Chain A
Protein backbone atom coordinates (compact mmCIF):
# COMPACT_ATOMS: atom_id res chain seq x y z
CA UNK A 1 0.00 0.00 0.00
CA UNK A 2 2.83 2.34 0.81
CA UNK A 3 4.29 1.64 -2.57
CA UNK A 4 1.04 2.46 -4.30
CA UNK A 5 0.89 5.73 -2.44
CA UNK A 6 4.46 6.53 -3.40
CA UNK A 7 3.62 5.81 -7.00
CA UNK A 8 0.61 8.06 -6.80
CA UNK A 9 2.54 10.95 -5.29
CA UNK A 10 5.20 10.42 -7.95
CA UNK A 11 2.57 10.68 -10.61
CA UNK A 12 1.01 13.86 -9.22
CA UNK A 13 4.48 15.33 -9.00
CA UNK A 14 5.00 14.43 -12.64
CA UNK A 15 1.74 16.09 -13.64
CA UNK A 16 2.64 19.20 -11.64
CA UNK A 17 5.98 19.37 -13.42
CA UNK A 18 4.29 19.13 -16.81
CA UNK A 19 1.82 21.90 -15.95
CA UNK A 20 4.60 24.17 -14.76
CA UNK A 21 6.72 23.39 -17.79
CA UNK A 22 3.84 24.22 -20.11
CA UNK A 23 3.34 27.59 -18.46
CA UNK A 24 7.07 28.19 -18.63
CA UNK A 25 7.10 27.40 -22.35
CA UNK A 26 4.25 29.84 -22.98
CA UNK A 27 6.06 32.56 -21.05
CA UNK A 28 9.52 32.03 -22.47
CA UNK A 29 9.12 30.58 -25.96
CA UNK A 30 8.33 33.94 -27.62
CA UNK A 31 11.68 35.17 -26.32
CA UNK A 32 13.52 32.09 -27.56
CA UNK A 33 11.85 32.64 -30.92
CA UNK A 34 12.99 36.27 -30.84
CA UNK A 35 16.62 35.38 -30.25
CA UNK A 36 16.49 32.58 -32.82
CA UNK A 37 15.08 34.80 -35.57
CA UNK A 38 17.54 37.56 -34.72
CA UNK A 39 20.39 35.29 -35.75
CA UNK A 40 18.99 34.40 -39.17
CA UNK A 41 19.07 36.37 -42.38
CA UNK A 42 15.92 38.17 -43.45
CA UNK A 43 15.22 35.73 -46.29
CA UNK A 44 15.23 32.79 -43.95
CA UNK A 45 12.43 34.21 -41.81
CA UNK A 46 9.67 33.19 -44.19
CA UNK A 47 9.52 29.55 -43.20
CA UNK A 48 6.66 27.55 -41.85
CA UNK A 49 8.79 25.98 -39.13
CA UNK A 50 8.63 27.25 -35.58
CA UNK A 51 12.35 27.84 -35.26
CA UNK A 52 15.03 28.41 -37.84
CA UNK A 53 18.43 26.85 -37.99
CA UNK A 54 20.29 29.64 -39.78
CA UNK A 55 22.81 28.56 -42.44
CA UNK A 56 25.34 30.99 -41.06
CA UNK A 57 24.74 32.80 -37.83
CA UNK A 58 24.22 36.45 -38.71
CA UNK A 59 26.12 38.33 -36.04
CA UNK A 60 26.00 41.25 -38.43
CA UNK A 61 22.40 41.84 -37.38
CA UNK A 62 23.61 42.66 -33.92
CA UNK A 63 26.39 44.91 -35.17
CA UNK A 64 23.82 46.90 -37.16
CA UNK A 65 21.50 47.00 -34.16
CA UNK A 66 24.30 48.10 -31.88
CA UNK A 67 25.55 50.90 -34.12
CA UNK A 68 22.39 52.19 -35.79
CA UNK A 69 20.25 51.73 -32.68
CA UNK A 70 22.52 54.12 -30.74
CA UNK A 71 22.66 51.33 -28.21
CA UNK A 72 25.51 52.69 -26.08
CA UNK A 73 24.21 56.25 -25.90
CA UNK A 74 20.68 55.18 -25.00
CA UNK A 75 21.93 52.63 -22.49
CA UNK A 76 24.07 55.28 -20.84
CA UNK A 77 21.09 57.67 -20.70
CA UNK A 78 18.85 54.99 -19.26
CA UNK A 79 21.35 54.11 -16.55
CA UNK A 80 22.06 57.74 -15.69
CA UNK A 81 18.43 58.88 -15.57
CA UNK A 82 17.21 55.81 -13.68
CA UNK A 83 20.11 55.92 -11.26
CA UNK A 84 19.47 59.57 -10.45
CA UNK A 85 15.74 58.95 -10.15
CA UNK A 86 16.32 56.10 -7.70
CA UNK A 87 18.66 58.18 -5.52
CA UNK A 88 16.27 61.14 -5.46
CA UNK A 89 13.23 58.99 -4.75
CA UNK A 90 14.96 57.24 -1.86
CA UNK A 91 16.22 60.43 -0.22
CA UNK A 92 13.04 62.44 -0.68
CA UNK A 93 10.79 59.60 0.45
CA UNK A 94 12.81 58.95 3.61
CA UNK A 95 12.72 62.64 4.52
CA UNK A 96 9.01 62.99 3.84
CA UNK A 97 8.16 59.72 5.57
CA UNK A 98 10.07 60.75 8.68
CA UNK A 99 8.43 64.16 8.76
CA UNK A 100 4.93 62.80 8.22
CA UNK A 101 5.20 59.78 10.43
CA UNK A 102 7.51 60.70 13.31
CA UNK A 103 7.39 64.44 13.71
CA UNK A 104 4.56 66.33 15.33
CA UNK A 105 2.74 68.96 13.33
CA UNK A 106 -0.84 69.65 12.44
CA UNK A 107 -0.81 69.05 8.71
CA UNK A 108 1.18 65.81 8.74
CA UNK A 109 -1.83 63.66 7.91
CA UNK A 110 -2.99 65.97 5.17
CA UNK A 111 0.41 66.23 3.49
CA UNK A 112 0.88 62.47 3.64
CA UNK A 113 -2.51 61.92 2.04
CA UNK A 114 -1.75 64.52 -0.59
CA UNK A 115 1.51 62.85 -1.55
CA UNK A 116 -0.11 59.41 -1.60
CA UNK A 117 -2.83 60.72 -3.94
CA UNK A 118 -0.30 60.39 -6.71
CA UNK A 119 -0.84 56.62 -6.58
CA UNK A 120 -4.31 57.05 -8.00
CA UNK A 121 -3.58 59.61 -10.71
CA UNK A 122 -3.12 58.02 -14.15
CA UNK A 123 0.29 59.06 -15.45
CA UNK A 124 -0.93 59.38 -19.00
CA UNK A 125 -3.49 62.01 -18.12
CA UNK A 126 -0.61 64.37 -17.30
CA UNK A 127 1.10 63.88 -20.66
CA UNK A 128 -0.75 66.70 -22.39
CA UNK A 129 -0.50 69.44 -19.75
CA UNK A 130 3.06 68.51 -18.79
CA UNK A 131 4.10 68.78 -22.42
CA UNK A 132 2.72 72.31 -22.41
CA UNK A 133 4.42 73.19 -19.12
CA UNK A 134 7.78 71.80 -20.16
CA UNK A 135 7.74 73.58 -23.49
CA UNK A 136 6.80 76.85 -21.78
CA UNK A 137 9.67 76.48 -19.34
CA UNK A 138 12.08 75.28 -22.00
CA UNK A 139 12.52 71.94 -20.30
CA UNK A 140 11.72 69.75 -23.29
CA UNK A 141 14.73 67.86 -24.55
CA UNK A 142 16.49 68.22 -21.20
CA UNK A 143 17.12 65.54 -18.61
CA UNK A 144 14.66 67.31 -16.29
CA UNK A 145 11.73 66.49 -18.54
CA UNK A 146 12.22 62.83 -17.64
CA UNK A 147 13.71 63.07 -14.19
CA UNK A 148 10.96 65.23 -12.68
CA UNK A 149 7.96 63.09 -13.66
CA UNK A 150 9.83 59.83 -13.01
CA UNK A 151 10.66 60.89 -9.47
CA UNK A 152 7.24 62.44 -8.85
CA UNK A 153 5.33 59.36 -9.94
CA UNK A 154 7.57 56.93 -8.06
CA UNK A 155 7.41 58.96 -4.88
CA UNK A 156 3.92 57.98 -3.60
CA UNK A 157 4.68 54.27 -3.57
CA UNK A 158 8.11 54.89 -2.07
CA UNK A 159 6.62 57.05 0.66
CA UNK A 160 4.05 54.39 1.40
CA UNK A 161 6.70 51.68 1.72
CA UNK A 162 9.00 53.83 3.82
CA UNK A 163 6.30 54.77 6.32
CA UNK A 164 5.18 51.17 6.70
CA UNK A 165 8.77 50.09 7.40
CA UNK A 166 9.46 53.00 9.69
CA UNK A 167 6.67 51.84 11.97
CA UNK A 168 8.81 48.88 12.98
CA UNK A 169 11.74 51.00 14.16
CA UNK A 170 11.55 51.59 17.92
CA UNK A 171 11.28 55.22 19.00
CA UNK A 172 13.61 54.59 21.94
CA UNK A 173 16.58 54.59 19.60
CA UNK A 174 15.81 58.12 18.55
CA UNK A 175 15.23 59.22 22.10
CA UNK A 176 18.70 58.04 23.00
CA UNK A 177 20.12 59.90 20.02
CA UNK A 178 18.35 63.08 21.06
CA UNK A 179 19.83 62.75 24.54
CA UNK A 180 23.24 62.59 22.95
CA UNK A 181 22.48 65.84 21.19
CA UNK A 182 21.80 64.58 17.67
CA UNK A 183 19.92 66.91 15.31
CA UNK A 184 17.01 65.72 13.20
CA UNK A 185 19.05 65.43 10.02
CA UNK A 186 21.64 63.27 11.73
CA UNK A 187 18.92 61.09 13.21
CA UNK A 188 17.41 60.58 9.78
CA UNK A 189 20.54 59.90 7.80
CA UNK A 190 22.77 58.23 10.38
CA UNK A 191 20.31 56.28 12.50
CA UNK A 192 17.11 55.70 10.56
CA UNK A 193 18.47 55.29 7.05
CA UNK A 194 20.85 52.40 7.83
CA UNK A 195 17.97 50.57 9.50
CA UNK A 196 15.78 50.95 6.42
CA UNK A 197 18.20 49.02 4.22
CA UNK A 198 15.75 46.38 3.03
CA UNK A 199 13.02 48.89 2.29
CA UNK A 200 15.48 51.09 0.44
CA UNK A 201 16.33 48.08 -1.70
CA UNK A 202 12.63 47.49 -2.34
CA UNK A 203 11.99 51.10 -3.25
CA UNK A 204 15.05 51.18 -5.50
CA UNK A 205 13.98 48.04 -7.34
CA UNK A 206 10.39 49.15 -7.81
CA UNK A 207 11.45 52.60 -9.01
CA UNK A 208 13.98 51.13 -11.38
CA UNK A 209 11.57 48.56 -12.83
CA UNK A 210 8.83 51.15 -13.31
CA UNK A 211 10.99 53.72 -15.03
CA UNK A 212 13.50 51.61 -16.93
CA UNK A 213 10.95 50.61 -19.53
CA UNK A 214 9.03 53.87 -19.66
CA UNK A 215 8.85 55.50 -23.09
CA UNK A 216 5.53 57.32 -23.36
CA UNK A 217 6.73 60.40 -21.46
CA UNK A 218 10.14 60.18 -23.06
CA UNK A 219 8.72 60.19 -26.56
CA UNK A 220 6.40 63.08 -25.72
CA UNK A 221 8.92 65.34 -24.01
CA UNK A 222 12.04 64.58 -26.06
CA UNK A 223 12.87 65.29 -29.67
CA UNK A 224 16.62 64.97 -30.07
CA UNK A 225 18.51 61.78 -29.29
CA UNK A 226 20.52 63.49 -26.55
CA UNK A 227 18.60 62.08 -23.56
CA UNK A 228 16.60 59.32 -25.22
CA UNK A 229 16.47 56.05 -23.32
CA UNK A 230 16.86 52.43 -24.30
CA UNK A 231 13.33 51.71 -25.58
CA UNK A 232 14.05 54.22 -28.37
CA UNK A 233 16.52 51.83 -29.95
CA UNK A 234 13.51 49.69 -30.79
CA UNK A 235 11.07 52.51 -31.53
CA UNK A 236 13.32 54.28 -34.00
CA UNK A 237 14.54 51.15 -35.67
CA UNK A 238 11.24 49.94 -37.03
CA UNK A 239 11.05 52.96 -39.27
CA UNK A 240 14.66 52.84 -40.38
CA UNK A 241 14.83 49.13 -41.21
CA UNK A 242 11.17 48.60 -41.94
CA UNK A 243 11.79 45.72 -44.34
CA UNK A 244 14.87 44.18 -42.75
CA UNK A 245 13.05 42.10 -40.18
CA UNK A 246 16.03 40.11 -38.94
CA UNK A 247 17.82 43.27 -37.83
CA UNK A 248 14.65 44.38 -36.04
CA UNK A 249 14.65 41.10 -34.17
CA UNK A 250 18.27 41.72 -33.24
CA UNK A 251 17.66 45.21 -31.89
CA UNK A 252 14.79 43.92 -29.79
CA UNK A 253 16.87 41.12 -28.31
CA UNK A 254 19.72 43.56 -27.68
CA UNK A 255 17.62 46.14 -25.83
CA UNK A 256 15.92 43.46 -23.75
CA UNK A 257 19.25 41.92 -22.79
CA UNK A 258 20.52 44.32 -20.06
CA UNK A 259 17.36 44.09 -17.97
CA UNK A 260 17.09 40.32 -18.37
CA UNK A 261 20.76 39.80 -17.47
CA UNK A 262 20.51 42.00 -14.40
CA UNK A 263 17.33 40.22 -13.41
CA UNK A 264 18.91 36.78 -13.70
CA UNK A 265 21.94 37.91 -11.69
CA UNK A 266 19.94 39.62 -8.94
CA UNK A 267 16.89 37.43 -9.27
CA UNK A 268 16.58 36.62 -5.57
CA UNK A 269 16.80 40.24 -4.42
CA UNK A 270 14.47 41.50 -7.11
CA UNK A 271 11.89 38.82 -6.40
CA UNK A 272 12.01 39.67 -2.73
CA UNK A 273 11.81 43.39 -3.41
CA UNK A 274 8.87 43.13 -5.77
CA UNK A 275 7.04 40.76 -3.47
CA UNK A 276 7.56 43.04 -0.48
CA UNK A 277 6.59 46.12 -2.44
CA UNK A 278 3.48 44.54 -3.86
CA UNK A 279 2.25 42.97 -0.64
CA UNK A 280 2.73 46.15 1.35
CA UNK A 281 1.52 48.38 -1.47
Chain B
Protein backbone atom coordinates (compact mmCIF):
# COMPACT_ATOMS: atom_id res chain seq x y z
CA UNK B 1 0.00 0.00 0.00
CA UNK B 2 2.76 2.39 0.96
CA UNK B 3 4.52 1.81 -2.31
CA UNK B 4 1.34 2.42 -4.27
CA UNK B 5 0.61 5.60 -2.34
CA UNK B 6 3.99 7.16 -2.89
CA UNK B 7 4.37 6.43 -6.58
CA UNK B 8 5.83 9.70 -7.86
CA UNK B 9 4.62 9.27 -11.41
CA UNK B 10 1.03 8.74 -10.34
CA UNK B 11 1.18 11.73 -8.02
CA UNK B 12 2.58 13.89 -10.77
CA UNK B 13 -0.19 12.86 -13.15
CA UNK B 14 -2.79 13.71 -10.51
CA UNK B 15 -1.61 17.18 -9.54
CA UNK B 16 -0.19 18.27 -12.88
CA UNK B 17 -3.42 19.58 -14.43
CA UNK B 18 -4.15 21.70 -11.38
CA UNK B 19 -0.63 23.00 -11.05
CA UNK B 20 -0.38 23.79 -14.76
CA UNK B 21 -3.63 25.72 -14.63
CA UNK B 22 -2.43 27.63 -11.61
CA UNK B 23 0.85 28.48 -13.29
CA UNK B 24 -0.73 29.43 -16.58
CA UNK B 25 -3.76 31.39 -15.39
CA UNK B 26 -2.57 32.86 -12.10
CA UNK B 27 1.19 32.71 -11.52
CA UNK B 28 2.42 33.62 -15.00
CA UNK B 29 0.12 36.64 -15.30
CA UNK B 30 1.25 37.89 -11.89
CA UNK B 31 4.89 37.62 -12.94
CA UNK B 32 4.10 39.39 -16.18
CA UNK B 33 2.34 42.13 -14.20
CA UNK B 34 5.39 42.62 -12.03
CA UNK B 35 7.49 42.94 -15.18
CA UNK B 36 5.20 45.42 -16.96
CA UNK B 37 4.79 47.34 -13.70
CA UNK B 38 8.39 48.47 -14.14
CA UNK B 39 7.82 49.80 -17.68
CA UNK B 40 6.13 52.75 -19.31
CA UNK B 41 4.39 50.49 -21.82
CA UNK B 42 1.27 52.07 -23.29
CA UNK B 43 -0.21 48.86 -24.63
CA UNK B 44 1.36 49.03 -28.07
CA UNK B 45 4.67 50.03 -29.60
CA UNK B 46 7.96 50.07 -27.76
CA UNK B 47 8.59 50.74 -24.11
CA UNK B 48 11.35 51.36 -21.59
CA UNK B 49 12.16 50.09 -18.14
CA UNK B 50 11.55 52.91 -15.70
CA UNK B 51 12.26 51.27 -12.37
CA UNK B 52 9.95 52.18 -9.51
CA UNK B 53 8.56 55.28 -11.25
CA UNK B 54 5.04 53.76 -11.50
CA UNK B 55 4.99 52.83 -7.85
CA UNK B 56 6.19 56.28 -6.83
CA UNK B 57 3.38 57.82 -8.87
CA UNK B 58 0.89 55.43 -7.36
CA UNK B 59 1.60 56.62 -3.83
CA UNK B 60 0.74 60.19 -4.76
CA UNK B 61 -2.20 59.20 -7.00
CA UNK B 62 -5.34 60.71 -5.48
CA UNK B 63 -7.66 58.44 -7.43
CA UNK B 64 -6.00 55.35 -6.01
CA UNK B 65 -6.65 56.80 -2.56
CA UNK B 66 -10.30 57.36 -3.44
CA UNK B 67 -10.55 53.79 -4.69
CA UNK B 68 -9.22 52.41 -1.43
CA UNK B 69 -11.48 54.71 0.56
CA UNK B 70 -14.48 53.49 -1.41
CA UNK B 71 -13.54 49.89 -0.71
CA UNK B 72 -13.36 50.74 2.96
CA UNK B 73 -16.75 52.47 2.81
CA UNK B 74 -18.23 49.43 1.10
CA UNK B 75 -16.74 47.08 3.67
CA UNK B 76 -18.19 49.23 6.47
CA UNK B 77 -21.53 49.23 4.65
CA UNK B 78 -21.47 45.45 4.39
CA UNK B 79 -20.50 44.96 8.02
CA UNK B 80 -22.67 47.64 9.62
CA UNK B 81 -25.78 47.49 7.42
CA UNK B 82 -25.97 44.34 5.33
CA UNK B 83 -24.76 41.80 7.85
CA UNK B 84 -26.76 42.92 10.90
CA UNK B 85 -29.89 43.00 8.73
CA UNK B 86 -29.07 39.60 7.26
CA UNK B 87 -28.39 38.10 10.67
CA UNK B 88 -31.59 39.47 12.19
CA UNK B 89 -33.65 38.38 9.20
CA UNK B 90 -32.13 34.92 9.42
CA UNK B 91 -32.98 34.70 13.12
CA UNK B 92 -36.56 35.87 12.50
CA UNK B 93 -36.92 33.43 9.63
CA UNK B 94 -35.74 30.61 11.85
CA UNK B 95 -38.30 31.56 14.51
CA UNK B 96 -41.14 31.69 12.00
CA UNK B 97 -40.73 28.12 10.77
CA UNK B 98 -43.29 26.35 8.66
CA UNK B 99 -44.02 26.91 5.02
CA UNK B 100 -43.10 30.56 5.01
CA UNK B 101 -39.51 29.69 5.78
CA UNK B 102 -38.77 28.09 2.46
CA UNK B 103 -40.62 30.72 0.49
CA UNK B 104 -38.80 33.66 2.04
CA UNK B 105 -35.42 32.00 1.83
CA UNK B 106 -35.99 31.43 -1.85
CA UNK B 107 -37.17 34.99 -2.50
CA UNK B 108 -34.26 36.57 -0.64
CA UNK B 109 -31.72 34.64 -2.63
CA UNK B 110 -33.11 35.31 -6.12
CA UNK B 111 -31.16 38.55 -6.77
CA UNK B 112 -27.98 36.53 -6.24
CA UNK B 113 -28.55 34.22 -9.18
CA UNK B 114 -29.15 37.12 -11.56
CA UNK B 115 -26.23 38.35 -13.62
CA UNK B 116 -24.46 41.48 -12.46
CA UNK B 117 -25.01 42.81 -15.96
CA UNK B 118 -28.78 42.69 -15.45
CA UNK B 119 -28.58 43.96 -11.87
CA UNK B 120 -26.41 46.94 -12.83
CA UNK B 121 -28.62 48.03 -15.73
CA UNK B 122 -31.76 47.40 -13.72
CA UNK B 123 -30.54 49.75 -11.00
CA UNK B 124 -29.47 52.28 -13.59
CA UNK B 125 -33.12 52.37 -14.56
CA UNK B 126 -34.28 52.42 -10.95
CA UNK B 127 -32.14 55.53 -10.42
CA UNK B 128 -33.20 57.03 -13.75
CA UNK B 129 -34.35 60.64 -13.23
CA UNK B 130 -37.13 60.41 -15.85
CA UNK B 131 -38.94 57.14 -15.22
CA UNK B 132 -36.92 55.58 -12.41
CA UNK B 133 -38.62 53.60 -9.69
CA UNK B 134 -36.94 55.46 -6.85
CA UNK B 135 -38.07 58.90 -7.90
CA UNK B 136 -41.58 57.56 -8.50
CA UNK B 137 -41.64 56.20 -4.98
CA UNK B 138 -40.53 59.59 -3.66
CA UNK B 139 -43.32 61.21 -5.69
CA UNK B 140 -45.84 58.81 -4.20
CA UNK B 141 -44.78 60.06 -0.78
CA UNK B 142 -45.15 63.69 -1.85
CA UNK B 143 -41.54 64.39 -2.78
CA UNK B 144 -40.45 66.24 -5.93
CA UNK B 145 -38.93 63.14 -7.40
CA UNK B 146 -36.36 64.74 -9.66
CA UNK B 147 -33.26 63.74 -7.75
CA UNK B 148 -30.18 62.96 -9.78
CA UNK B 149 -28.84 59.99 -7.83
CA UNK B 150 -25.57 59.88 -9.72
CA UNK B 151 -24.51 63.33 -8.60
CA UNK B 152 -20.82 63.43 -7.65
CA UNK B 153 -21.77 63.59 -3.97
CA UNK B 154 -24.45 60.92 -3.87
CA UNK B 155 -23.18 58.51 -6.53
CA UNK B 156 -21.07 56.47 -4.14
CA UNK B 157 -24.09 55.92 -1.87
CA UNK B 158 -26.17 54.90 -4.86
CA UNK B 159 -23.52 52.31 -5.71
CA UNK B 160 -23.29 51.08 -2.12
CA UNK B 161 -27.04 50.55 -1.93
CA UNK B 162 -26.98 48.35 -5.03
CA UNK B 163 -24.12 46.23 -3.70
CA UNK B 164 -25.65 45.86 -0.26
CA UNK B 165 -28.98 44.91 -1.82
CA UNK B 166 -27.46 42.40 -4.22
CA UNK B 167 -25.39 40.52 -1.65
CA UNK B 168 -28.04 40.46 1.06
CA UNK B 169 -29.44 37.01 0.21
CA UNK B 170 -26.04 35.38 0.26
CA UNK B 171 -25.21 36.68 3.73
CA UNK B 172 -28.70 35.81 4.94
CA UNK B 173 -28.38 32.24 3.72
CA UNK B 174 -25.06 31.67 5.47
CA UNK B 175 -26.31 33.10 8.77
CA UNK B 176 -29.49 31.08 8.38
CA UNK B 177 -27.51 27.84 7.96
CA UNK B 178 -25.41 28.77 10.98
CA UNK B 179 -28.50 29.37 13.12
CA UNK B 180 -30.01 26.08 11.98
CA UNK B 181 -26.92 24.31 13.25
CA UNK B 182 -27.47 25.61 16.78
CA UNK B 183 -28.75 22.90 19.10
CA UNK B 184 -32.48 23.57 19.74
CA UNK B 185 -32.09 22.20 23.26
CA UNK B 186 -30.32 25.45 24.15
CA UNK B 187 -33.35 27.47 23.12
CA UNK B 188 -35.67 25.20 25.07
CA UNK B 189 -33.53 25.65 28.15
CA UNK B 190 -33.62 29.40 27.68
CA UNK B 191 -37.41 29.39 27.38
CA UNK B 192 -37.73 27.33 30.55
CA UNK B 193 -35.51 29.84 32.31
CA UNK B 194 -37.93 32.53 31.21
CA UNK B 195 -35.67 34.35 28.74
CA UNK B 196 -37.54 36.35 26.10
CA UNK B 197 -36.79 36.30 22.40
CA UNK B 198 -34.43 39.25 22.41
CA UNK B 199 -32.34 37.97 25.33
CA UNK B 200 -32.19 34.55 23.70
CA UNK B 201 -30.91 36.15 20.50
CA UNK B 202 -28.29 38.22 22.33
CA UNK B 203 -27.17 35.58 24.81
CA UNK B 204 -27.40 32.37 22.77
CA UNK B 205 -27.63 33.01 19.04
CA UNK B 206 -25.03 35.76 18.77
CA UNK B 207 -22.23 34.12 20.81
CA UNK B 208 -22.70 30.76 19.09
CA UNK B 209 -22.68 32.44 15.68
CA UNK B 210 -19.33 34.09 16.30
CA UNK B 211 -17.30 31.84 13.98
CA UNK B 212 -19.86 32.22 11.18
CA UNK B 213 -19.88 35.99 11.66
CA UNK B 214 -16.10 36.07 11.49
CA UNK B 215 -15.99 34.12 8.24
CA UNK B 216 -18.70 36.34 6.81
CA UNK B 217 -16.95 39.55 7.83
CA UNK B 218 -13.69 38.37 6.27
CA UNK B 219 -15.47 37.56 3.05
CA UNK B 220 -17.27 40.92 3.09
CA UNK B 221 -14.06 42.90 3.44
CA UNK B 222 -12.39 40.95 0.66
CA UNK B 223 -15.32 41.23 -1.70
CA UNK B 224 -15.42 44.97 -0.99
CA UNK B 225 -11.77 45.18 -2.02
CA UNK B 226 -12.31 43.11 -5.15
CA UNK B 227 -15.46 44.92 -6.26
CA UNK B 228 -15.46 45.72 -9.95
CA UNK B 229 -18.31 44.47 -12.15
CA UNK B 230 -21.20 46.42 -10.70
CA UNK B 231 -19.29 49.67 -10.55
CA UNK B 232 -17.91 49.16 -14.05
CA UNK B 233 -21.42 49.01 -15.50
CA UNK B 234 -23.21 51.36 -13.12
CA UNK B 235 -20.95 54.40 -13.07
CA UNK B 236 -17.58 53.25 -14.40
CA UNK B 237 -16.01 55.14 -11.53
CA UNK B 238 -17.66 58.45 -12.35
CA UNK B 239 -18.69 61.18 -12.04
CA UNK B 240 -15.14 62.40 -11.72
CA UNK B 241 -13.56 59.50 -9.90
CA UNK B 242 -15.99 59.61 -7.01
CA UNK B 243 -17.07 55.96 -7.30
CA UNK B 244 -13.73 54.54 -8.39
CA UNK B 245 -12.64 51.09 -7.17
CA UNK B 246 -9.16 49.64 -7.51
CA UNK B 247 -9.92 46.92 -10.04
CA UNK B 248 -11.92 49.31 -12.19
CA UNK B 249 -9.20 51.92 -12.00
CA UNK B 250 -6.42 49.60 -13.16
CA UNK B 251 -8.61 48.46 -16.03
CA UNK B 252 -9.30 52.05 -17.08
CA UNK B 253 -5.66 53.04 -16.83
CA UNK B 254 -4.58 50.14 -19.03
CA UNK B 255 -7.29 50.08 -21.68
CA UNK B 256 -8.71 53.64 -21.71
CA UNK B 257 -5.82 55.85 -20.65
CA UNK B 258 -3.27 53.62 -22.44
CA UNK B 259 -1.03 53.39 -19.40
CA UNK B 260 -0.70 49.63 -19.49
CA UNK B 261 2.48 49.64 -17.42
CA UNK B 262 0.91 51.81 -14.75
CA UNK B 263 -2.21 49.60 -14.73
CA UNK B 264 -0.04 46.57 -14.04
CA UNK B 265 1.73 48.37 -11.22
CA UNK B 266 -1.69 49.03 -9.66
CA UNK B 267 -2.47 45.35 -10.17
CA UNK B 268 0.65 44.28 -8.28
CA UNK B 269 -0.11 46.56 -5.34
CA UNK B 270 -3.74 45.40 -5.48
CA UNK B 271 -2.69 41.75 -5.15
CA UNK B 272 -0.38 42.57 -2.26
CA UNK B 273 -3.17 44.45 -0.46
CA UNK B 274 -5.61 41.54 -0.94
CA UNK B 275 -3.09 39.00 0.35
CA UNK B 276 -2.19 41.18 3.32
CA UNK B 277 -5.80 41.83 4.28
CA UNK B 278 -6.79 38.15 3.99
CA UNK B 279 -3.85 36.96 6.04
CA UNK B 280 -4.29 39.78 8.55
CA UNK B 281 -8.00 39.15 9.11
CA UNK B 282 -7.42 35.42 9.50
CA UNK B 283 -4.77 36.12 12.12
CA UNK B 284 -6.99 38.52 14.02
CA UNK B 285 -9.94 36.15 14.06
CA UNK B 286 -8.32 32.77 14.40
CA UNK B 287 -5.73 33.35 17.04
CA UNK B 288 -7.80 33.29 20.22
CA UNK B 289 -9.62 30.15 19.07
CA UNK B 290 -6.50 28.34 18.05
CA UNK B 291 -4.71 29.35 21.18
CA UNK B 292 -7.55 27.84 23.17
CA UNK B 293 -7.37 24.64 21.15
CA UNK B 294 -3.64 24.37 21.66
CA UNK B 295 -4.07 24.99 25.39
CA UNK B 296 -6.71 22.28 25.59
CA UNK B 297 -4.46 19.87 23.76
CA UNK B 298 -1.63 20.61 26.17
CA UNK B 299 -3.88 20.05 29.18
CA UNK B 300 -5.14 16.80 27.71
CA UNK B 301 -1.61 15.61 27.07
CA UNK B 302 -0.70 16.41 30.65
CA UNK B 303 -3.73 14.56 31.97
CA UNK B 304 -2.80 11.56 29.90
CA UNK B 305 0.71 11.67 31.24
CA UNK B 306 -0.59 11.68 34.83
CA UNK B 307 -2.97 8.78 34.35
- A: residues with CB less than 8 A from B are 12-13, 16-17, 19-20, 23-24, 26-28, 30-31, 33-34, 37, 45-50, 92-93, 95-96, 98-100, 102-105, 111, 114-115, 117-130, 132-133, 148-149, 151-153, 155, 159, 175, 178, 183-185, 188, 209, 212-213, 215-216, 220, 230-232, 234-235, 238, 245, 248-249, 252, 255-256, 259-260, 262-264, 267, 270-271, 274-275, 278-279
Contact = CB atoms under 8 A, between A and B. Distances in A.
Interface in B21-76: 21-22, 24-26, 28-30, 32-33, 36
Contacts of B121: 234, 238, 248, 252
Contact of A95 (B5, B15, B33): B15
Most buried by A among B107, B110, B115, B278: B115
A128 B33 contact: yes
Q: Which of A27, A31, A175, A232 has the most CB of B within 10 A?
A: A27
Given A111-B19, A127-B251, A255-B115, 16 more contacts: A23-B89, A27-B108, A48-B140, A103-B10, A115-B18, A125-B270, A126-B26, A133-B32, A148-B21, A152-B21, A153-B26, A216-B232, A234-B118, A248-B125, A263-B110, A274-B173
A136 B222 CA distance: 32
B299 interface: no
A234 B114 CA distance: 12
Contacts of A105: 6, 8, 11
B110 A13 contact: no
Contacts of B85: 23
B264 interface: yes
A103 B6 contact: yes
B174 A122 contact: no
B15 A260 contact: no
Contact of B36 (A20, A96, A129, A256): A129
Interface in B181-236: 197, 212, 215, 222, 225-226, 228-229, 232-233
B77 interface: no
Nearest to B107: A24
- Majority SS of interface residues in chain B? helix
B15 A148 contact: no
B158 interface: no
Interface stretch (B126-134, B147-155, B285-293): B126-134
B96 A20 contact: yes
Contacts of A127: 251
A123 B226 contact: yes
A188 B7 CA distance: 15
Query: Interface range on chain B: under 10, 10 to 19, 20 to 34, or 35 or more?
Result: 35 or more
Given A16-B92, A98-B14, A111-B15, A148 B24 contact: yes
A255 B200 CA distance: 44
14 contacts: A17-B100, A20-B100, A48-B139, A96-B19, A117-B26, A121-B274, A122-B226, A128-B36, A129-B267, A151-B21, A152-B26, A155-B21, A259-B115, A267-B102
A24 B15 CA distance: 45
The 5 closest A-B pairs by CB, nearest first: A152-B25, A124-B247, A129-B29, A231-B117, A275-B177
B238 interface: no
A123 B263 CA distance: 14
Contacts of B275: 120-121
B30 A126 contact: yes
Contacts of A24: 104, 107-108
Contact of B177 (A28, A92, A129, A279): A279
B274 A122 contact: yes
A103 B15 CA distance: 11
A52 to B, nearest CB: 10
B115 A231 contact: yes
A34 B228 contact: no
A95 B131 CA distance: 54
Interface in B152-185: 165, 168-170, 173-174, 176-178
B79 interface: no
B133 A30 contact: yes
Contacts of A37: 125
B11 to A, nearest CB: 5
Contacts of A132: 32, 36
Contacts of B145: 48
B106 interface: yes
B8 A234 contact: no
B250 A260 contact: no
A115 B125 CA distance: 41
A211 to B, nearest CB: 11
Given A24-B107, A148-B21, A128 B225 contact: no
B96 A124 contact: no
